[in-house]
Protein backbone atom coordinates (compact mmCIF):
# COMPACT_ATOMS: atom_id res chain seq x y z
CA UNK A 1 0.00 0.00 0.00
CA UNK A 2 1.42 3.44 -0.88
CA UNK A 3 2.21 5.65 2.11
CA UNK A 4 -0.67 7.80 3.35
CA UNK A 5 -0.71 11.54 2.99
CA UNK A 6 -3.12 14.28 4.03
CA UNK A 7 -5.28 17.03 2.62
CA UNK A 8 -7.21 19.82 4.29
CA UNK A 9 -10.96 19.92 4.01
CA UNK A 10 -11.76 22.66 1.45
CA UNK A 11 -12.70 26.01 2.95
CA UNK A 12 -15.90 25.93 0.92
CA UNK A 13 -17.10 23.16 3.23
CA UNK A 14 -16.75 25.31 6.32
CA UNK A 15 -20.47 25.02 6.90
CA UNK A 16 -19.91 21.31 7.45
CA UNK A 17 -17.01 21.29 9.92
CA UNK A 18 -15.20 18.06 10.61
CA UNK A 19 -15.19 18.27 14.40
CA UNK A 20 -12.30 16.43 16.04
CA UNK A 21 -13.10 14.16 18.94
CA UNK A 22 -10.67 12.98 21.67
CA UNK A 23 -9.58 9.40 21.06
CA UNK A 24 -10.51 8.59 24.65
CA UNK A 25 -14.14 9.52 23.99
CA UNK A 26 -15.10 8.60 20.41
CA UNK A 27 -18.65 8.35 19.18
CA UNK A 28 -19.73 4.88 20.31
CA UNK A 29 -20.10 2.26 17.63
CA UNK A 30 -23.24 0.16 17.89
CA UNK A 31 -21.97 -2.49 15.49
CA UNK A 32 -21.39 -5.82 17.21
CA UNK A 33 -17.81 -7.02 16.99
CA UNK A 34 -16.94 -10.44 15.69
CA UNK A 35 -15.10 -12.71 18.11
CA UNK A 36 -11.35 -12.61 17.74
CA UNK A 37 -8.35 -13.49 19.82
CA UNK A 38 -6.90 -10.12 18.83
CA UNK A 39 -9.50 -7.49 17.83
CA UNK A 40 -6.84 -5.08 16.58
CA UNK A 41 -5.19 -7.75 14.46
CA UNK A 42 -8.56 -8.75 13.02
CA UNK A 43 -9.44 -5.16 12.21
CA UNK A 44 -6.02 -4.58 10.66
CA UNK A 45 -6.42 -7.67 8.48
CA UNK A 46 -9.87 -6.47 7.42
CA UNK A 47 -8.43 -3.06 6.56
CA UNK A 48 -5.58 -4.56 4.53
CA UNK A 49 -8.05 -6.76 2.63
CA UNK A 50 -10.15 -3.80 1.55
CA UNK A 51 -7.12 -1.68 0.67
CA UNK A 52 -5.88 -4.46 -1.59
CA UNK A 53 -9.23 -4.37 -3.41
CA UNK A 54 -9.20 -0.65 -4.18
CA UNK A 55 -7.59 -1.01 -7.60
CA UNK A 56 -9.98 -3.71 -8.77
CA UNK A 57 -13.00 -1.79 -7.45
CA UNK A 58 -12.03 1.29 -9.49
CA UNK A 59 -11.93 -0.85 -12.62
CA UNK A 60 -14.97 -2.95 -11.75
CA UNK A 61 -18.08 -2.74 -13.97
CA UNK A 62 -21.19 -1.08 -12.56
CA UNK A 63 -23.05 -3.12 -9.95
CA UNK A 64 -26.49 -4.47 -10.87
CA UNK A 65 -29.54 -2.37 -10.10
CA UNK A 66 -30.47 -2.08 -6.44
CA UNK A 67 -32.58 -4.91 -5.14
CA UNK A 68 -33.29 -3.33 -1.77
CA UNK A 69 -36.02 -0.89 -2.78
CA UNK A 70 -38.85 -1.10 -5.27
CA UNK A 71 -40.27 2.41 -5.78
CA UNK A 72 -43.25 3.09 -8.02
CA UNK A 73 -42.40 4.20 -11.57
CA UNK A 74 -41.85 7.90 -12.14
CA UNK A 75 -44.27 10.13 -14.04
CA UNK A 76 -44.30 10.00 -17.80
CA UNK A 77 -42.05 12.55 -19.47
CA UNK A 78 -40.37 13.56 -16.19
CA UNK A 79 -37.64 16.14 -16.64
CA UNK A 80 -34.08 15.47 -15.48
CA UNK A 81 -34.24 18.85 -13.76
CA UNK A 82 -36.53 17.21 -11.21
CA UNK A 83 -33.75 14.95 -9.88
CA UNK A 84 -32.90 15.26 -6.20
CA UNK A 85 -30.37 17.96 -5.30
CA UNK A 86 -27.23 16.93 -3.32
CA UNK A 87 -28.52 18.54 -0.13
CA UNK A 88 -31.77 16.56 -0.43
CA UNK A 89 -29.87 13.29 -0.76
CA UNK A 90 -27.64 14.31 2.16
CA UNK A 91 -30.69 15.05 4.32
CA UNK A 92 -31.75 11.40 4.08
CA UNK A 93 -28.35 10.39 5.51
CA UNK A 94 -28.49 12.66 8.57
CA UNK A 95 -27.28 11.25 11.87
CA UNK A 96 -25.33 8.12 10.87
CA UNK A 97 -21.72 8.27 12.14
CA UNK A 98 -18.68 6.88 10.37
CA UNK A 99 -15.07 7.14 11.50
CA UNK A 100 -11.91 8.37 9.80
CA UNK A 101 -8.38 9.45 10.70
CA UNK A 102 -7.25 13.07 10.77
CA UNK A 103 -3.83 14.52 11.52
CA UNK A 104 -3.06 17.13 14.17
CA UNK A 105 -4.17 19.89 11.76
CA UNK A 106 -7.61 18.29 11.37
CA UNK A 107 -6.84 17.20 7.80
CA UNK A 108 -8.04 13.94 6.33
CA UNK A 109 -5.36 11.28 6.09
CA UNK A 110 -5.59 10.04 2.49
CA UNK A 111 -4.42 6.88 0.75
CA UNK A 112 -3.28 6.98 -2.87
CA UNK A 113 -5.08 4.86 -5.43
CA UNK A 114 -2.81 1.80 -5.89
CA UNK A 115 -3.91 1.48 -9.52
CA UNK A 116 -2.72 4.89 -10.74
CA UNK A 117 -1.21 6.76 -7.78
CA UNK A 118 -3.00 9.85 -9.09
CA UNK A 119 -6.06 9.84 -6.87
CA UNK A 120 -6.28 10.08 -3.11
CA UNK A 121 -9.01 8.57 -1.00
CA UNK A 122 -10.29 9.21 2.47
CA UNK A 123 -11.15 5.93 4.18
CA UNK A 124 -14.36 5.90 6.22
CA UNK A 125 -15.08 3.07 8.64
CA UNK A 126 -18.49 2.00 9.91
CA UNK A 127 -16.82 0.60 13.04
CA UNK A 128 -14.62 2.71 15.28
CA UNK A 129 -12.28 -0.25 15.84
CA UNK A 130 -11.49 -0.38 12.11
CA UNK A 131 -10.60 3.32 12.22
CA UNK A 132 -8.36 2.52 15.18
CA UNK A 133 -6.60 -0.07 13.00
CA UNK A 134 -6.14 2.54 10.27
CA UNK A 135 -4.68 4.94 12.83
CA UNK A 136 -2.22 2.26 13.96
CA UNK A 137 -1.24 1.68 10.32
CA UNK A 138 -0.64 5.39 9.75
CA UNK A 139 1.51 5.68 12.88
CA UNK A 140 3.55 2.64 11.85
CA UNK A 141 4.11 3.61 8.22
CA UNK A 142 4.41 7.38 8.63
CA UNK A 143 5.44 8.28 12.21
CA UNK A 144 5.68 12.02 11.47
CA UNK A 145 2.22 12.10 9.91
CA UNK A 146 0.86 9.86 12.63
CA UNK A 147 2.08 12.14 15.40
CA UNK A 148 -1.03 13.80 16.78
CA UNK A 149 -3.31 11.84 14.42
CA UNK A 150 -6.65 10.75 15.83
CA UNK A 151 -9.86 8.93 15.00
CA UNK A 152 -12.61 11.41 14.18
CA UNK A 153 -16.38 10.83 13.80
CA UNK A 154 -18.22 12.41 10.88
CA UNK A 155 -21.82 11.89 9.79
CA UNK A 156 -22.80 10.49 6.40
CA UNK A 157 -24.65 13.65 5.38
CA UNK A 158 -21.40 15.61 5.88
CA UNK A 159 -19.48 12.98 3.91
CA UNK A 160 -21.96 13.19 1.05
CA UNK A 161 -21.67 16.97 0.78
CA UNK A 162 -17.86 16.77 0.86
CA UNK A 163 -18.04 14.14 -1.89
CA UNK A 164 -20.21 16.51 -3.91
CA UNK A 165 -17.38 19.05 -3.63
CA UNK A 166 -14.89 16.62 -5.14
CA UNK A 167 -13.34 14.82 -2.15
CA UNK A 168 -13.18 11.07 -2.83
CA UNK A 169 -13.97 8.53 -0.12
CA UNK A 170 -14.03 4.77 0.21
CA UNK A 171 -16.18 3.03 2.82
CA UNK A 172 -15.01 0.10 4.93
CA UNK A 173 -18.23 -1.71 5.93
CA UNK A 174 -18.91 -3.63 9.11
CA UNK A 175 -17.77 -7.22 8.38
CA UNK A 176 -20.66 -8.62 10.43
CA UNK A 177 -23.15 -6.87 8.14
CA UNK A 178 -21.29 -8.21 5.10
CA UNK A 179 -21.82 -11.68 6.57
CA UNK A 180 -25.51 -10.91 7.16
CA UNK A 181 -25.93 -9.66 3.60
CA UNK A 182 -24.34 -12.78 2.12
CA UNK A 183 -26.69 -14.96 4.17
CA UNK A 184 -29.66 -13.10 2.66
CA UNK A 185 -28.27 -13.25 -0.88
CA UNK A 186 -27.76 -16.98 -1.15
CA UNK A 187 -25.26 -18.13 -3.74
CA UNK A 188 -22.95 -15.14 -3.38
CA UNK A 189 -19.49 -15.44 -1.85
CA UNK A 190 -18.61 -11.73 -1.88
CA UNK A 191 -20.49 -8.49 -1.41
CA UNK A 192 -19.34 -5.27 -3.07
CA UNK A 193 -20.16 -2.10 -1.15
CA UNK A 194 -21.83 -1.24 2.15
CA UNK A 195 -24.84 -3.50 2.78
CA UNK A 196 -28.17 -1.87 3.63
CA UNK A 197 -31.43 -3.60 4.52
CA UNK A 198 -35.05 -2.76 3.69
CA UNK A 199 -38.54 -4.22 3.95
CA UNK A 200 -41.76 -3.06 2.30
CA UNK A 201 -43.53 -3.95 5.55
CA UNK A 202 -41.88 -1.00 7.31
CA UNK A 203 -42.91 1.78 4.90
CA UNK A 204 -44.98 4.30 6.87
CA UNK A 205 -46.72 7.63 6.37
CA UNK A 206 -46.31 10.32 9.02
CA UNK A 207 -47.50 13.92 8.83
CA UNK A 208 -48.47 13.48 5.17
CA UNK A 209 -44.97 12.26 4.27
CA UNK A 210 -44.07 8.74 3.18
CA UNK A 211 -40.97 7.16 4.74
CA UNK A 212 -39.16 4.11 3.40
CA UNK A 213 -36.54 3.24 6.06
CA UNK A 214 -33.14 1.84 5.10
CA UNK A 215 -31.11 0.12 7.84
CA UNK A 216 -27.36 -0.39 8.16
CA UNK A 217 -27.72 -3.34 10.53
CA UNK A 218 -29.75 -6.47 9.93
CA UNK A 219 -30.38 -6.74 13.67
CA UNK A 220 -32.11 -3.34 13.67
CA UNK A 221 -34.52 -4.18 10.86
CA UNK A 222 -35.32 -7.54 12.44
CA UNK A 223 -36.22 -5.74 15.66
CA UNK A 224 -38.43 -3.29 13.75
CA UNK A 225 -40.21 -6.09 11.90
CA UNK A 226 -40.93 -7.84 15.18
CA UNK A 227 -42.46 -4.64 16.56
CA UNK A 228 -44.42 -3.94 13.38
CA UNK A 229 -46.19 -7.27 13.28
CA UNK A 230 -47.65 -8.61 16.51
CA UNK A 231 -49.34 -11.47 14.68
CA UNK A 232 -46.45 -12.84 12.61
CA UNK A 233 -43.91 -15.08 14.29
CA UNK A 234 -40.83 -17.04 13.30
CA UNK A 235 -38.44 -16.73 10.39
CA UNK A 236 -41.20 -16.08 7.81
CA UNK A 237 -41.32 -12.43 8.89
CA UNK A 238 -37.60 -11.97 8.31
CA UNK A 239 -37.86 -13.37 4.78
CA UNK A 240 -39.33 -9.97 3.89
CA UNK A 241 -35.88 -8.38 4.31
CA UNK A 242 -34.17 -7.27 1.10
CA UNK A 243 -30.52 -6.26 0.81
CA UNK A 244 -28.71 -3.86 -1.49
CA UNK A 245 -25.67 -1.59 -1.30
CA UNK A 246 -25.48 1.97 0.00
CA UNK A 247 -23.57 3.03 -3.10
CA UNK A 248 -26.32 1.78 -5.42
CA UNK A 249 -29.06 3.41 -3.35
CA UNK A 250 -27.31 6.78 -3.48
CA UNK A 251 -26.81 6.48 -7.23
CA UNK A 252 -30.52 5.76 -7.69
CA UNK A 253 -31.42 8.74 -5.52
CA UNK A 254 -29.15 10.96 -7.62
CA UNK A 255 -30.54 9.88 -10.97
CA UNK A 256 -34.26 9.39 -10.31
CA UNK A 257 -36.88 12.11 -10.26
CA UNK A 258 -38.82 13.41 -7.30
CA UNK A 259 -42.04 11.52 -6.61
CA UNK A 260 -40.47 8.37 -8.06
CA UNK A 261 -40.25 6.75 -4.63
CA UNK A 262 -36.51 7.27 -4.14
CA UNK A 263 -37.10 10.59 -2.41
CA UNK A 264 -39.00 8.73 0.34
CA UNK A 265 -35.87 7.00 1.63
CA UNK A 266 -34.56 7.71 5.12
CA UNK A 267 -31.43 6.03 6.47
CA UNK A 268 -31.71 4.81 10.06
CA UNK A 269 -28.52 5.12 12.18
CA UNK A 270 -27.33 1.87 13.77
CA UNK A 271 -29.12 1.07 17.01
CA UNK A 272 -32.08 3.39 16.42
CA UNK A 273 -35.70 2.83 15.41
CA UNK A 274 -37.55 4.61 12.63
CA UNK A 275 -39.77 6.55 15.03
CA UNK A 276 -36.83 7.59 17.19
CA UNK A 277 -34.84 8.82 14.20
CA UNK A 278 -37.77 10.70 12.63
CA UNK A 279 -38.39 12.47 15.95
CA UNK A 280 -34.73 13.44 16.21
CA UNK A 281 -34.36 14.82 12.69
CA UNK A 282 -37.70 16.64 12.94
CA UNK A 283 -36.91 18.32 16.28
Cα gap 47→192, rounded to integer Å: 15
Using an 8 Å Cβ cutoff, are 245 and 251 in contact?
Answer: no
Cα gap 24→211, rounded to integer Å: 36
φ, ψ for residue 279 (rounded to 5)?
Answer: -65, -40
pLDDT at 216: 97
Q: What ranges make up the beta strands (E) of 40-131?
A: 97-102, 108-112, 120-125
Cα gap 95→153, rounded to integer Å: 11
Q: pTM here?
A: 0.71
Cα gap 127→36, rounded to integer Å: 15
pLDDT at 30: 35
pLDDT at 185: 86
- Inter-residue long-range contacts of 12-16, CB under 8 Å, 24+ positions, other chains counted: 12/165, 13/161, 13/162, 13/165, 16/158, 16/161, 16/162
pLDDT at 209: 87
Using an 8 Å Cβ cutoff, are 245 and 65 in contact?
Answer: no
pLDDT at 154: 94
Cross-strand partners of 211: 204
* Element containing residue 260 per DSSP (H, E): none
Using an 8 Å Cβ cutoff, are 26 and 150 in contact?
Answer: no
Please tell me whether residue 246 adopts helix, strand or coil conformation.
helix
pLDDT at 113: 58
HSE-CB of 238 using CA atoms within 13 angstroms:
14
- Residue by residue, pLDDT tens for the chain (283 residues) are 444 554 444 333 322 223 222 222 333 333 333 333 333 444 344 444 444 443 333 333 333 334 334 443 333 333 344 778 899 999 999 999 999 999 888 888 887 756 555 467 788 999 999 999 999 988 998 888 888 899 999 999 999 998 877 778 889 999 999 999 999 988 788 899 999 999 999 999 887 889 999 999 999 999 999 887 765 555 566 678 999 999 999 999 998 877 788 889 999 999 999 999 998 988 7
pLDDT at 177: 96
Using an 8 Å Cβ cutoff, are 193 and 173 in contact?
Answer: yes
Range 23-58 burial, b when 16+ CB lie within 10 A, else e:
eeebeebbbeeeeeeeeeebbbebbeebbeebeeee
Cα gap 186→190, rounded to integer Å: 11
Amino acid sequence: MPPPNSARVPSSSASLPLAAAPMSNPVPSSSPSQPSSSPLAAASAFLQYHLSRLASRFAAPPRPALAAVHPPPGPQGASLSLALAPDEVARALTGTPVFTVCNSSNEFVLVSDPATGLRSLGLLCFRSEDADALLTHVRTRQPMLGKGAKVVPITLDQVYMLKAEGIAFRFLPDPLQIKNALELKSGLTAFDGVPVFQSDLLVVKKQKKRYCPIYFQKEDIERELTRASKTSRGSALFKQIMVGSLEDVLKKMETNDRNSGWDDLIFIPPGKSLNQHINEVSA
